[in-house]
A and B are shown apart, each in its own frame.
Chain A
């Protein structure tokens, strides 16, 4: 089955700095990648997605980079704000059933 991991379980950044959250996956057949944000006590929420035929996608203050050669993707958050504090999950997907989540990275924004 798919193995999904994130490089760091916790990440602390100063408010205003940029954050980079990394994720490695094992299934080269994954054709769709989703990042979710989970605030404390709530369900995960969709942030941004990227298809395997792309290597970069930008949203509002967030950018996802995909490197299929090394099976790695990253989520970059610009000008990190206190509201960005949450657990971030990447979820590679080959089908609706095969949505696999790693253990997530806890992002803490320091004042």
Chain B
């Protein structure tokens, strides 16, 4: 499983509240990614990181921020959750540099009421 875990696995929250999802890896892989999975859209990249304090936006970054203060943790924050952010969020790491071979976490299902 490449030592990647996500928390929480399930969360229900209300519109307007902040939410933070955590991705933790047990190894020192440089590249980490946050995707969201929605029916009809597949997986879309939200943000990614290429090192401590090095992050960049993906395709659907509006309304999200990330932080990576240490190698093993990559946090995704919804600053003020909206119903359109109801989704399943997947973290992934690349164990082979930038080859495209990603290992995924189990996903975090977020419901915004």
A and B interact physically: no
Give the B-binding residues of A (Cβ under 8 A). Answer: none
Give the A-binding residues of B (Cβ under 8 A). Answer: none
